[in-house]
Amino acid sequence: MKDATAGDPVSGLLWTHKSLRTISTELERRGHAVSAPTVSRLLRAQHYSQRVNHKRHSGKQESPERDEQFGYISRQKAAHARRREPVISVDTKKKELIGEFRAAGTEWRRERREVLMYDFPGDARGKAIPYGIYDIGRNEGYVSLGISHDTPLFAVEAIRRWWLDEGRQRYTEAERLLIEADCGGSNSNRTGLWLVGLQAFADEFCVAVTVTHYPSGASKWNPVEHRMFSLISRNWAGQPLTSYETALKHIRTTTTTTGFRCTARLDRHRYELGLKATPEELASLRIRRHRLFPDWNYTISPRISRESPT
């Protein structure tokens, strides 16, 4: 085993690249008749274990301000929670093809489910783009299932629909909203249309919107990823998404013993690619960038107060 052993110098965990059958054959050649299951038991007794690759490295140098930004996000979250104001985590989940396609994971069945041999987009009935809103304080999820493109206007509309359907009923007196988001995708801090869309949201509902972005390479710490999307993925594991209704059903039936529940709606609007905010729209933003990492942290206030006549 010596030449084929690797290990972790900190934990002492060992592993080998040789198969059980190969080890058994070599032992038999040396006069020890040992079966593969026995080899497995002996390896575990010697602290060997089967392991898969674990994604931990970002592939580039981590931002030196990363820990400081994490602390700032935590303080913002705590401040809004003390005032009983809504705090949501948002992101887009991986796009899914709608049709008889193989789904990752397993399910309990008496017979195998027959699906298409190849995952050609041309064979799909459509595509599903789940944009998620996770209410951190209430442990509730909301998914807007898009059918066209993941754009900033699609993201803001998902937040707007959440506010209309659930948010304003849950937080009737709220004048501020905190959004935790990644730095990329449709809610990128570098995208003008994201800011313009949030300004329209703030104006429509007279709610000041504060956004705190997670640094690049830190999206896995965004609560919507591990508190909502991971649960949805587990719920539809092994289940082909044969229709939009099937996808919506799996999202709506995602629950946990800790009380998590999720709402889902289908957004049939067609969002165009390539749109950009105009200089006039950007100039009209009522945006205050925070002193700490102003590109990551900012507040957009409504241009009309609640007391102003409509």
DSSP string, 174-217: --EEEEEE-SSGGG-TT-HHHHHHHHHHHHHHT-EEEEEEPPTT
Determine the pLDDT at residue 51: 63
Determine the pLDDT at residue 60: 54
Q: Are 255 and 268 in contact (CB under 8 A)?
A: no
Determine the pLDDT at residue 247: 96
Alpha carbon 299 to its chain's center: 23
Domain borders along the chain are: 2-45, 66-105+113-300
66-105+113-300 CATH choice from 3.40.50.10860, 3.30.420.10, 2.20.25.240, 3.40.50.300: 3.30.420.10
Q: Are 105 and 238 in contact (CB under 8 A)?
A: yes
Determine the pLDDT at residue 3: 47
Q: Are 263 and 141 in contact (CB under 8 A)?
A: yes
Cβ neighbours for 122, distance < 8 A, ≥ 6 positions apart: none
> Which of these, 295, 263, 300, lies nearest to 281 by C-alpha position?
300
Residue spans of the chain under pLDDT 70: 1-18, 50-63, 306-310
Six-digit token string for 143: 């998914």
Determine the pLDDT at residue 2: 52
What are 167-206's pLDDT values in tens digits?
A: 999 999 999 999 999 999 999 999 999 999 999 999 999 9
What are 35-62's pLDDT values in tens digits?
A: 988 988 888 888 777 666 656 555 555 5
